[in-house]
Amino acid sequence: MTLKVALRIDGAAWKKELPDVKKLVKTAATAAWLAGNTGDFKLPVKSAEVSVLLTDDAAVHALNKAYRGIDRPTNVLSFAALDDEDEPIVDPLLLGDIAVAFETTKREALDQKISTADHLFHLIVHGVLHLIGYDHMTDADAAEMEALEIKILARNGMDNPYDD
């Protein structure tokens, strides 16, 4: 199974902070796709595509307000292409779009005492899992999604982000 990642980087902050950001995003998205596309979430396709926008707080704030009614920036937003169980699944499957805000991501990484790279990796994993169908609306769903995130991050040499 392959995953194509279309990446758009708005502004110089991402590349300045993370010179290998393209590779990081591709690695994180692929890891999430391969680990998450199983069991109840198994999609009958050989390949998929995801669009990732690395931007700033102002752009994510506008998206958050327009699509979620929340008047503030957030770290990551996911917009799934498959929102309805009746939608046809074609190969390659367009999973959807992910947008990540630089300032919020960097601030959260500093607060958590982790690298911006590790935090971005986690946010991309989180976003892709949402596109596949995982969510955290109930405690059980959150536990399942977080366990998978922890597993994916550990496979890539990162600590559990949910440990206090």
Summarize pLDDT for 86-122 with one digit per residue, the tens: 677 888 899 999 999 999 999 999 999 999 999 999 9
Contacts of residue 148, defined as CB under 8 A and 6 or more positions apart, other chains included, come to 35, 36, 129, 134
Q: What percent of the chain has pLDDT over 70?
A: 98
Tokens of 128: 């892709």
Note the pLDDT tens digit of each residue in 38-49: 887 888 888 999
Cβ neighbourhood burial of 55 (10 Å; 0-12, 13-18, 19+): buried
Closest CA to 92 of 128, 129, 45: 45
Q: Is the pTM of this model over 0.75?
A: yes
Please determine, for residue 25, whether its predicted confidence score (pLDDT) is greater than 90: yes
Q: Are 70 and 24 in contact (CB under 8 A)?
A: no
